[in-house]
Chain A
Amino acid sequence: MYAQLVETGAKRLKTLEEMSPEERAFQEKVDAEIKIEAKNWMPEGYRKTLVRQISQHAHSEVVGMLPEGNWVTRAPTLKRKLQLMAKIQDEAGHGLYLYSAMETLGADRDEEIEKLHQGKAKYSSIFNYPTLNWADMGAVGWLVDGAAIVNQVVLQRTSYGPYSRAMVRICKEESFHQRQGYQILLDLMRGGTDEQKAMVQDAINRLWWPSLMMFGPHDDESPNSQQSLAWKIKRKSNDELRQMFIDQTVPQLEFLGCTAPDPDLKWNEETGHYDFGEINWQEFYDVLKGNGPCNRERIRTRKKAIDEGAWVREAAVAYAKKQKQRTAAA
């Protein structure tokens, strides 16, 4: 999931009786699966929650380019290089598309990016982990994009129209990335040397748990989840989504001939799901607080790019102004 622990401002859910007439009409619309559009009335909490969630999602796309940028200059073949470049380009496109969806809610892209650079806005915790070998480019596609898709497929039905439509478009590209990522790992496992196979297992060992953390904490840990579900900004709980991801991923893991770093992972005949071990939540909250391996580097890189690009953007504005004056004078 590209948005975690999105603050809704809610301590508990209001009942229909406690709502104002406007709020009640809004909630009934949401309950009837009618999409909310930019011009419709919406509770302030709903608007703020969406801005937070969509901007987090957009920031994640942009910050998510960095761990891949770490390998794009070292991709091993022309084909893999081109694939990775295309993926990164898609992600920049997703970022732009999501920032636009966010701006329909009256938020400003530059302001939200500034919050990111000040450490006030979140992005997916997964991108604070380093990419240490080439197989990470496969594992990121397979596990990270895979986890994102599980969430985003459901978000295609989110109650806010522009966000929902963005998700439809993004999901198509993400599933392509996921298949491509898996193919990288499969090719390495099938035709690779022992060293290459070791890269794959190493990548999975490092990225497995952080991928599961992408879905966020247990639902009973957060009142935000309940409010987001009632507003249908979220459509399924964190734990439900995590279980869906595990259930679909474990057979793929076995097909690769690799293992997960979780001794408790096993099929449960009774529940029809895989059981799995407890996530290290301390690590999750540490990373969220800024204490992951790459938090500092990621934000510094992004901030540096935007700060050092200020003169370029200023020049573009100045030039456009001059051009406008020239056209007016002509």
Chain B
Amino acid sequence: MTQTEALKEYLLRLADSDMILGQRLCELCGKAPALEEEMALMNVALDLVGQARNWYEYAAELIDDGRDADKLAYRRDAHDYRNLLMTEQPNEDYAVTMGRQFFFDAWHYFTLKSLAGASDERVAGIAAKALKEATYHLRRSSEWVKRLGDGTEESHRRMQDAVDILWRFTGELITPDETDQLIAKAGIGPDPEQLKADWQGLVTEVLTQATLTPGAEDAWMYMGGKHGEHTEHLGFILAEMQFLQRAYPDATTW
């Protein structure tokens, strides 16, 4: 794999993860537990889809096969999607929604922090802007994990359940593959060992403060999203998200 090939792949991963998590948050429109949360969820979703668009645009330029950002988002099927499995997990209750967000945000924050200093200027520019947003996302989701973990008996039980349900998708965040290694070596993405240590450090700290127990260190991990092997959820997400583009393939303007 060349460095350019790795970069194309890596950009799609960033874009797809942002897009799919943004889509999951869109599903909550009008259904949040409070009006303030309604605003915050849509705000985070807006940031994520905005970031996805930036990554898609750059990816489209490098891929250079006539597809634009919209084509990449709306005309690829599940096996071509490269998002982390974490991002496609269903909203379920607010503990799962916030747990998913927190695990992702912690990964996202450290990843973007590194990307903001990338040797590739375009990547650095997009990441610098995204990092400001992700910093707020992480602060917010950490706070919610603590509130729910250390709130009432019920919220503690639900938050612990959420950690248990989601834990098997955390391995993919911090287990590098060839692409991650190449991107790190090129001075673009984070050093995998460092990312893993940062992520684990922060997650342990927040879960401890939240009086929650993390999953076992040797827990079995469900991986594959980065290579297009997804959970059953993604097909349905895409069926909904891509409906209009698929139903009206001849339309050139919306």
**A-contact bits for B60-86, CB 8 A (1 contact / 0 none):** 000000000110011000000000000
**Complex: how many Å from CA A310 to CA B52?**
33
User: Which residues of A, 276-316, contact B by the 8 Å Cβ criterion?
Assistant: 301-302, 304-306, 308-316
- Nearest A residue (CB) for B158: A311
Chain B residues touching A, majority SS: helix
CB contacts (< 8 Å) of B146 on chain A: these are 319
Beyond A88-B42, A304-B31, whether A315 also contacts B254 by CB under 8 A is no
Cβ-defined contact, B69 with A78, below 8 A: yes
Binding site secondary structure of chain A: helix
What 1/0 mask marks residues of chain B from 148 to 175 whose CB sits below 8 Å from any chain A CB? 1011101100100000000000000000
User: A195 on the interface (CB 8 Å rule)?
Assistant: yes
Number of residues from A at the complex interface, CB < 8 A: 53
Assess whether A193 is in contact with B151, with CB atoms less than 8 Å apart.
no
Contact B56 A195 (CB under 8 A): no
- Residues in A with CB closer than 8 Å to B250 are 193
Q: Please give, as numbers and ranges, the residues of chain B lying within 8 Å of A79 by CB-CB distance.
A: 53
Partner of B154, one of A66, A190, A311, A319: A311
Q: Once the chains are docked, how many angstroms separate the CA of A74 from the CA of B250?
A: 17
> Min CB distance, B101 to chain A, in Å?
14
Residues of chain B within 8 A (CB-CB) of A318 are: 151-152, 155
| A65 and B74 contact, CB distance less than 8 A | no
Report if A10 contacts B (CB, 8 A): no
Q: Which of A92-100, A147-155, A164-172 contacts B (4 or more CB under 8 A)?
A: A92-100
Do the beta carbons of A309 and B42 come within 8 Å of each other? no
Contact of B29 among A65, A82, A320 (CB under 8 A): A65
B36 nearest CB neighbor, chain A only: A96
Give complex CA distance A62, B69 in Å. 32
Chain B neighbourhood of A69, CB < 8 A: 26, 29-31
Q: Does B245 contact A (CB under 8 A)?
A: yes
Flag B228-254 by CB within 8 Å of A: 1 or 0 each.
000000000000110111001011111
Which one of A65, A76, A95, A193 has the greatest number of beta carbons of chain B within 10 Å?
A76
Also in contact, A78 and B38, with CB within 8 A (given A193-B248, A301-B30): no
Q: Which residues from A are CB-within-8-Å of B148? A: 312, 315, 319
Of the residues B31, B36, B253, contact of A191 by C-beta under 8 Å: B253
Q: Is the CB of B152 within 8 A of A86?
A: no
Q: Give B237's nearest chain A residue, CB to CB.
A: A73
On whether the beta carbons of A89 and B39 are closer than 8 Å, the reply is: yes
Interface hits, B173-208 → A, CB 8 Å: none
Chain B residues near A99 (CB-CB < 8 A): 35
Contact of A76 among B46, B53, B94, B244 (CB under 8 A): B244
Partner of B38, one of A92, A192, A319: A92
How many of chain B's residues have a CB under 8 angstroms from any CB in A? 49
**Which chain A residues border B152 with CB–CB below 8 Å?**
311, 314-315, 318
- Determine if A72 is an interface residue (Cβ-Cβ < 8 Å): yes
Kindly state the separation between the CA atoms of A304 and B70 in the bound complex, as whole angstroms: 34
Task: Find chain B residues with CB under 8 A from A96 CB.
Answer: 35-36, 39
Bound-complex Cα distance A89 to B30 (A): 10
Partner of A74, one of B39, B94, B244, B253: B244
Assuming A191-B252, A305-B33, is B23 touching A73 (CB within 8 A)?
A: yes
- B5 on the interface (CB 8 Å rule)? no
- Cα(A78)–Cα(B56), bound, Å: 10
Asked if A72 and B32 sit within 8 Å, CB to CB, the answer is: no
Do A134 and B45 touch across chains, with their CB atoms under 8 A apart?
no
Give the residues in chain A near B29, CB-CB below 8 Å: 65-66, 68-69, 72-73, 88
**CB distance A78 to B33 under 8 Å?**
no
Residues of B within 8 A of A74 (CB): 240-241, 243-244
Residue of A nearest to B38 (CB): A92
Q: How far is the CA of A95 from the CA of B150 in the complex (A)?
A: 30
Interface bits B118-162 vs A (CB < 8 Å: 1, else 0): 000000000000000000000000000011101110110010000
Given contacts A196-B248, A322-B150, contact A89 B49 (CB under 8 A): no
For B56, the chain A residues whose CB sits under 8 A away are 78
- Given A85-B46, A305-B33: A73 and B26 interface contact (C-beta under 8 Å): yes
CA distance A134 to B246 in the complex (A): 14
Closest Cβ of chain B: how far from A169's Cβ, in Å?
15
Question: Within the assembled complex, what's the spacing in Å between the Cα atoms of A79 and B50?
Answer: 9
Kindly list chain A residues whose C-beta atoms are within 8 Å of the C-beta of B4.
none
A149 to chain B, nearest CB (A): 22
**Is A37 positioned at the interface, with any CB of B under 8 Å from its CB?**
no
Given A73-B26, A77-B245, A305-B33, list of 17 further CB < 8 A pairs? Answer: A65-B30, A69-B30, A77-B254, A78-B69, A82-B49, A92-B38, A92-B42, A191-B253, A192-B251, A196-B254, A305-B31, A312-B94, A314-B151, A314-B154, A315-B152, A318-B152, A318-B155
Instruction: Please list the residues of chain B having a beta carbon within 8 angstroms of any beta carbon in chain A.
Output: 23, 26-27, 29-39, 42-43, 45-46, 49-50, 52-53, 56, 69-70, 73-74, 93-94, 146-148, 150-152, 154-155, 158, 240-241, 243-245, 248, 250-254
A-B interface, 5 closest residue pairs, ranked by CB to CB distance from nearest: A309-B33, A315-B151, A69-B29, A315-B155, A191-B253
16 CB-based A-B contacts, threshold 8 Å: A73-B29, A76-B251, A78-B70, A82-B50, A92-B39, A93-B39, A134-B244, A188-B253, A190-B253, A192-B253, A196-B251, A309-B94, A311-B158, A312-B148, A315-B152, A318-B155
